[in-house]
Amino acid sequence: MNAYRSFARSLMSNSNWSPATKLTPSVLKTEVLSGLTVALALVPEAVAFAFVAGVHPLVGLYAAFIVGLITALIGGRPGMISGATGALAVVMVALVAEHGVEYLFATVVMMGILQILAGIFKLGRFIRLVPHAVMLGFVNGLAIVIFLAQLSQFQVPGTAEASGHGMSGGEWLSGMPLIIMLALVALTMAIVWLLPKVTNVVPAPLAGIVIVALIVIGFGIDVPRVGDMASIEGSLPPFHIPAVPLTLETLQIITPYAVILAAIGLIESLLTLNLVGQMTNRVGGASQECVAQGVANTVTGFFGGMGGCAMIGQSMINVKSGARTRISGIVAALFLLSFILFASPLIEQIPLAALVGVMFMVVIGTFAWNSFRIMRVSTKFATFVTILVTVVTVYYDLATAVVVGVIVSALQYAWVNASRISARQTINDDGAKVYEINGPLFFGSAEGFSQLFDPAGDPDQVIVDFAESRVADQSALNAIEGVAAKYHEAGKELHLRHLSPDCTKLLTQTGLIIDESDDDPDYQLAAHYEVKTGLFGGGH
């Protein structure tokens, strides 16, 4: 059973949602409150990722607002939340440190353009090639990453940022401050868990944040708050053309970063799109999401933002709060802007413990706990891929983990299919030997195919029948040509049967004898083939 689909069913049962839900006052209330909850969770995340990238907190907040608003308006999946993310920030830090923030803005613009092109050329559809084992690893790895990111809130305010290394460089809380922090986190988690059992009038994460904030403010409890990270007060993001020289050297600097950021952003966004789609029974939208992410990042680069992509943690908060339309994402972005413009003193009083508690519940809900059961009954290789992707996600980054998982899965698939090539050998009424090929013929099985034949011991007439096979690529055509050359050298005649029209067309030009019939397959060859004419010195 799909591990994250079971979580999706629980979410939908709690929200009483169906695909035909109309925009009623009740639904609108749910969307607005969900958006408010997401906006509150976005503030410390955006500030933290700005610190990671080495830029001013407002650069992260502007990105969260602009990227979140545009993708909510035109993205491929209603309910998804986008903003500044850690996966992108860790790549940006080297660029900012070496060349400055203006080069970052230029890079974000190019990143957006590349993502728009990916959407136009429909490259997003290739996300369907990601195996289920990789998706499980992605979900589990992201849950662990979200959990580890919250640990920085258990440090003395200011020490982690000052170190420039996130949670690894800060001074940890201890004694009574740590006990109070843990108690408030536990209280928030208890509220988020218990409230849906009583009422769905208010999203549980929002209730947890508000109740714990009122307790902390009302009793004057001294715990780290949002304002201890940085001030979030600011103005509207101004239009700003990146102040970089328009030279080839600038292009050489920003292009590698733009390509990496575009790839990471799209991979994380499309995988999140699939995950949210499983939860909301929606399909498609990959190309639209690519364009939306691209437009959002292009605009962000011109308004002083650090760029962004889909955020699985905030998307889970939104979905779990009952949101299913674009309204929640739009509201979240507008609330975030209002925090920056008008409500910064109030928002800065929110205790970080409340936000950590919400994110810990997101971790519990995001992690595919059923994957442990799935791994017990699935193949050892699938289990290995799931663990591999999880580990690489945690210790390196998401894009690398997914690429590694897909490559390893593809190699294993090629290896298994390479061993499937075989031939049933018979002698027909005319005394010709017939090789009935079974299994796909491609680069992995080409060598095994060549070893099936015995040119020296076979009769003068040999027939190779591909009715139960499929010729897939250039290596397959080369293998057929190589076998034919051996029979020609032995002075024997080789006939080929049941090849697709494009294989027939290409191989006929080499002088091979191909017996065409009405039941020839009609699949297309998946590779360009360079025809080698004159193989037999003029043919037969």
Nearest of 393, 18, 351, 396 to residue 210 by alpha carbon? 351
Please list, in sequence order, all residues whose beta carbon lies within 8 angstroms of the beta carbon of residue 459, skipping any fewer than 6 positions away: 427, 431, 432, 433, 492
Please indicate, yes or no, if residue 433 is contained in any of the structural domains: yes
Amino acid at 138: F
**Are 261 and 317 part of one and the same domain?**
yes
User: Of the candidates 385, 410, 435, which is a domain's last residue?
Assistant: 410
Residues 84 and 326: their CA atoms lie apart, in Å, by 19
Q: Which of 41, 5, 26, 24 is nearest to 347 (CA)?
A: 41
Number of domains the chain contains: 2
Residue 404 sits in the same domain as residue 425 = no
Q: Are 149 and 286 in a shared domain?
A: yes
Domain final residue pick, 361, 384, 410: 410
Residues 213 and 302 in one domain: yes
The three-state secondary structure class of 493 is strand
Residues 6+ apart with CB under 8 A from 517: 497, 498
Give strand pairing partners of 351: 225
Six token digits for residue 464: 């190779």
Last residue in a domain, options 383, 410, 437: 410
- Asked whether residue 293 falls in the same domain as residue 244, the answer is yes
Radius of gyration of the chain (CA): 29
Question: How much is the pLDDT for 500?
Answer: 83
Query: 334 with 430, same domain?
Result: no
Give the SS3 label for residue 272.
helix
Cα 191 from chain centre: 31
Are residues 466 and 317 both part of a single domain? no
On whether both 149 and 261 belong to a single domain, the answer is: yes
**CATH for 432:** 3.30.750.24
Residues 346 and 481 in one domain: no
Q: Indicate the DSSP class of residue 152.
A: G
Asked, for residue 162, whether it belongs to a domain, the answer is no
Q: N- to C-terminal Cα distance for the chain? A: 57
Tens of pLDDT along the chain (540 residues) come to 444 444 344 333 333 344 445 788 989 999 999 999 999 999 988 988 898 888 999 999 999 999 999 999 999 999 999 999 888 988 898 999 999 999 999 999 999 999 999 999 999 888 888 898 998 998 898 889 888 888 888 888 765 554 443 444 568 889 999 999 999 999 999 999 999 999 888 889 999 999 999 999 999 999 999 998 889 999 999 999 999 999 999 999 999 999 999 998 999 899 999 889 888 888 889 999 999 999 999 999 999 999 999 998 899 999 988 898 999 999 999 999 999 999 999 999 999 999 999 989 988 988 888 888 888 888 899 999 999 999 998 888 777 898 899 999 999 988 888 888 999 999 999 899 999 999 999 999 999 999 999 999 999 999 999 999 988 888 988 999 999 999 999 999 999 999 888 787 777 777 787 888 777 777 666 555 555 545 544 444
Q: List C-alpha distances in Å: 488 to 448, 451, 455.
A: 20, 16, 9
Domain that holds residue 436: 419-515
Flag whether 523 is in a domain.
no
Q: Do residues 219 and 346 both lie within one domain?
A: yes
Do the bridges between strand 461-471 and strand 433-441 make them parallel or antiparallel, or are there none, so unpaired? parallel
Does the residue 539 lie in any domain?
no
Q: What is the pLDDT of residue 331?
A: 97
pLDDT for res 7: 36
Q: Examine residue 204 and state whether it is found in any structural domain, yes or no.
A: yes
Whether residue 102 lies inside any domain: the answer is yes
Instruction: Please give the Cα distance from 423 to 462 (Å, whole number).
Output: 13
Instruction: Write b or e for each residue in 172-190: b if 16 or more Cβ atoms lie within 10 A of its Cβ, otherwise e.
Output: ebeeeeeebbeebbebbbe
Q: Is 520 part of any domain?
A: no
C-alpha to C-alpha distances, 196 to 368, 369, 441, nearest whole angstrom: 21, 21, 56
Q: Is residue 160 part of a domain?
A: no
State the pLDDT at residue 537. Answer: 46
Same domain for 360 and 442, yes or no, is: no
Give me 141's structure tokens. Answer: 């790895």
Q: Are residues 401 and 448 in the same domain?
A: no
